[in-house]
Amino acid sequence: MVVYITYNLAEAQVIAGRLEADGIPTMVHQAAGGRAFGITVGILGEVRVLVRPQDYRQAMVILIDDDAGDIDELPDSSDYIIYRFEDDSSDE
């Protein structure tokens, strides 16, 4: 059963890894045509995370709990990024 749909293979693999860490076997599936041609939109661009029917409810609970905001995330704005550069000049 499908528990997650995205258009990003790496994101799907992270979701699958999260579920597998809790003992739920997963499969990441993308249509062969989409992968071969690098299509990332529409039905050919979909990447699906699948679980067995008996694991569906537990998988959804895990994903909903993770999405509840328990994890601190970086803000979407780059205004908070501070860049530091070392000064290689010597004071003589």
Query: pLDDT per residue over 40-75, tens digit each?
Result: 666 777 889 999 999 999 999 998 887 755 455 555
CATH number of the domain located at residue range(s) 2-68 in this protein: 3.30.70
Q: What is the pLDDT of residue 59?
A: 94
Nearest to 44 by CA among 9, 91, 1: 9
Average pLDDT over residues 83-88: 64
Long-range contact list for 34-41, CB < 8 A, 24+ apart?
A: 40/7, 40/8, 41/7
Average pLDDT over residues 4-8: 90
Residue pLDDT, tens place only, 11-40:
999 999 999 999 999 999 987 776 666 666
In angstroms, the CA 45 to CA 78 distance is 29
In angstroms, the CA 41 to CA 5 distance is 12
